[in-house]
Amino acid sequence: MSEVLAKAQAAKRTTVALNALTRAQKDEALTRMADELIARKEELMDANRIDIEKAKASGLLTSFIERLTLTDKRIEAMAEGLRQVTQLEDPIGDLLEEIERPNGLLIRKVRVPLGLIGIIYESRPNVTVDAAGLCLKSGNAVLLRGGSDALSSNRKLVEVLRDALSTTKVPEDAIQLIENPDRASVTEMLKLKGILDVLIPRGGASLIRHVVENATVPVIETGAGICHTYLDDSADPQKAVNLSFNAKVQRPSVCNSMETLLVHREFASSHLRVVAEKLLSANVELRGCPETLDLIGDLANTKPVSEQDFATEYNDYILNIRIVPDLETAIAHINQYGTQHSECIVTENAEHARKFMLEVDAAAVYQNASTRFTDGFEFGFGAEIGISTQKLHARGPMGLPALTTTKYYVYGSGQIRE
C-alpha cells in the first residue's frame, strides 16, 4: 500500500471520533499544539535551516526563501493563530434553519464537518499549522502535502503537532503529512475520490490549475493573486503613497500583495513621481506604460511594461504601472487581468468608490485600505485555510464555516408519503 493511501485511510478512520468531540476537547488540543510549538521552537528552526540551505544551494529566488523561512516571530504567530482559533465559536452543530411542515415533519438544517480534507500547498510552512488547526476545530481530519522544498520543516511541524495531540482526546492520526516528494504523490491524492471529501490547493497558478484540471475529488479553488490598486483622480496624495507602498512592499511574496498600480491621468500628472520615488526607495522595479514612462521614465529602475507583465503574479519587488483616463478603464483592466482576489480604490469620491466596489469582480474589494488585509487573521477568523477566488461554496478568506457542510435532521412521528 502506498504512503498516500495508507495515511489517507488512517486519517479517514478518525472522522467519526472527530465529529463527536466537544468544543472544550478541541480547544484543549489546539492550546496544547500552540504550547508545543513554542516549547520546541529551536527544533523547528533547526529543521527549517536544512530547507533554507537547500533552497540557497539551488539558487532559488530571495522571495521564495522568504516564504520558506521560519523565525521566532513567525513561530509565535503560528501559535497565536491556534490560540485565536480557540476563541472562535465552534460552527459544528449550528442550527441554520428549522422548518415545520404541515404534515408534522420537523426539519433542521445544521452544520457538520466536511470529513477528510486534503491540502496541497507550496513552500510556506505556516500553512501546515494553519490548516491543521482550522481543520481540527471544525471537526475535520487533514491530509497535508506540502512542497518538497519545505519537507524538513513540515515533517518537524507535524511531529510536534501530533505529539501534542497524543495527550488529548483528539486522535493524532487526524493530522497526516505526505512525505514522498515525488509529484506522483500529488497525482495519487487527486484521485482519492471516496476517501478525501475535498481538496484545497494553495500555491501558484500552475499548481492550482493542475489540481483543478486533474482531480476527481471535489476542489475548493484558491486563486493566484494578481491584485491592483487604483489611484482615483480624487485620491488623497498621502493615502496614495502609503497604501501603494504597503500593498507592494510590506510582504511582496504573498498572494494579496499588489502587482499593478493603476493611476488616473490627472492624479498621475501631479503625484505619480512621489509615489514612484517612495516605491523605488525600497528597490522596487517599476514597469510602466508609455504615458508612465513619459512622466517618470528618467528615474532609475524603471522600464517598459509588456502585455504579459499585466497577467503575471510576481510575488517579488516588481510593479506594473498603467495610467488610465477614467474609472471605467481601471475597472475594465482589473476585470480583464485580475484573478478575482483583492482589489483597491484610493479615492475621496463616494460615488466612484461605490461604482468600483460594485463592478469589480473580486473576492475582496477595498476602499482606502491596503489589499494586504485579505487574510483570515486580519478578518478576525483566526488562521485561514486559504483565500478562495471561486464563487461556489466559499469565497475570500476561508475560516471555520467554510470547512463545514450541512446535514438535514428530519424528525417524524410515523409519517408516510402519499
Give tens-digit pLDDT for 250-309.
Answer: 999 888 999 999 999 999 999 999 999 999 999 999 999 999 999 999 998 999 999 999
Whether pLDDT at 366 is above 80: yes
| Sign of the CA dihedral running 170, 171, 172, 174 | negative
Domain-wise residue ranges, the chain: 3-222+398-411, 227-373
pLDDT band of residue 382 (cuts 50, 70, 90) is low
pLDDT in tens, 177-202: 999 999 899 999 999 999 999 999 98
| Sign of the CA dihedral running 287, 293, 299, 303 | positive
Quick one: pLDDT at residue 347? Answer: 97
Quick one: pLDDT at residue 59? Answer: 86
Mean pLDDT in residue range 354-364:
94
Q: Which residues lie below 8 Å from residue 231, measured CB to CB, with a gap of 6+? A: 240, 244, 261, 262, 263, 264, 267, 268, 271, 275, 346
Q: What percent of the chain has pLDDT over 70?
A: 99
Quick one: pLDDT at residue 31? Answer: 98
Side-chain-side CA neighbours of residue 362 (13 Å): 31
pLDDT band of residue 119 (cuts 50, 70, 90) is very high
pLDDT in tens, 152-162: 999 999 999 99
Weakest-pLDDT range from 5-19, 116-130, 231-245: 116-130
What's the mean per-residue pLDDT of the chain? 93
Whether pLDDT at 63 is above 80: no
Most confident of 64-68, 90-94, 124-128, 205-209: 90-94
Mean pLDDT in residue range 368-372:
95
CATH 3.90.650.10, applies to 227-373: no
> Cα(46)–Cα(31) distance, rounded to whole angstroms?
23
Side-chain-side CA neighbours of residue 358 (13 Å): 8
Quick one: pLDDT at residue 123? Answer: 76
Mean pLDDT in residue range 385-399:
78
Q: Which set of grid coordinates corresponds to residue 97?
A: 434553519
Weakest-pLDDT range from 17-31, 67-81, 158-172: 67-81
Q: At what angle do helices 72-87 and 41-57 cross, to 10 degrees?
A: 120
Whether pLDDT at 311 is above 90: yes
Q: Which set of grid coordinates corresponds to residue 371?
A: 489589499
Q: Which set of grid coordinates corresponds to residue 260?
A: 499593478
Quick one: pLDDT at residue 377? Answer: 75
| Sign of the CA dihedral running 141, 146, 151, 153 | negative
pLDDT band of residue 383 (cuts 50, 70, 90) is low
Query: Which of 248-253's residues contact partners 24+ apart within 8 Å by CB, and which partners?
Result: 248/279, 248/282, 248/284, 248/317, 248/319, 249/279, 249/282, 249/284, 249/317, 250/370, 250/372, 251/372, 252/63, 252/314, 252/315, 252/316, 252/317, 253/63, 253/64, 253/66, 253/67, 253/315, 253/316
Quick one: pLDDT at residue 395? Answer: 78
Mean pLDDT in residue range 161-167:
97
Smallest CA-to-CA distance from 30 within 382, 376, 398 is with 382
pLDDT band of residue 393 (cuts 50, 70, 90) is confident
Homologous superfamily of the 3-222+398-411 domain (CATH): Aldehyde Dehydrogenase; Chain A, domain 1 (3.40.605.10)
